[in-house]
Amino acid sequence: MSIDKDKIKHVSKLARISLDEKKIDTLAKDLTSIFKFIEQLNELKTENVEPLSSILDKPLRSRKDVVDDGKIRDKILENSPKKNEEFFVVPKVIE
């Protein structure tokens, strides 16, 4: 399948990545060749094959939902690009 510029624009919206026109052009070209490569898979009949999502043969372990660390708010906030004493700060969302 060829990937046109509109598809790139749509997907970049979904992925929350802004792109300029030049980038959109290059990506359309790159992704078209990558999808052509990927679509080799259509040569295979897979109707009766069970999809493999994990190579582990057991289901994942679950655990009790309890706090075993915590009280590290200040440490967590240290890595935030914008914050006040207690909160992450983001651009205004309510007018």
Partner 1 sequence: MSNITKKNLTEIVKLIKKKEIKSEELTQSFVDNIEKDKKLNAFITKCSETALTKAKNFDKKPILDTLLPGIPIAVKDLFCTKNVKTTAGSKMLENFIPNYESTITNNLWNEGAILLGKLNCDEYAMGSSNETSYFGNVINPVAENTVPGGSSGGSASALAADLTPTTIGTDTGGSIRQPASFTGTVGLKPTYGLCSRWGIVAFASSLDQAGPMTKTVEDCALMLEAMAGFDKKDSTSINKKKENYSEKLTDNIKGLKIGIPKEYRVDGMPKEIDELWENGKKLLKEAGAKIIDISLPHTKYALPTYYIVAPAEASSNLARYDGVKYGYRSLKGNNLIEMYENTRSEGFGDEVKRRILIGTYVLSSGYYDAYYLKAQKVRQLIKRDFDNSFKSVDAILTPSTPSSAFKIGEKKNDPISMYLNDIFTVPVNLAGIPAISIPAGKDNKNFPLGLQFIGKPLDEQKLLNIAFAVEKRINFNQDLKRWWES
Query: Using CB under 8 A as the criterion, which residues of the chain lie in contact with partner 1 when the complex forms?
Result: 3, 7-8, 11-12, 14-19, 27, 30-31, 33-34, 37-42, 44, 46, 49-56, 60-61, 63, 72, 75-76, 78-82, 88, 90-93
Three-state SS at 80:
coil
Smallest distance from the beta carbon of 21 to partner 1, in angstroms? 13
Distance CA 21, CA 8 (A): 10
- DSSP H helices, 15-91, are 21-38, 73-78
User: What single letter denotes the amino acid at residue 33?
Assistant: S
Smallest distance from the beta carbon of 29 to partner 1, in angstroms? 10
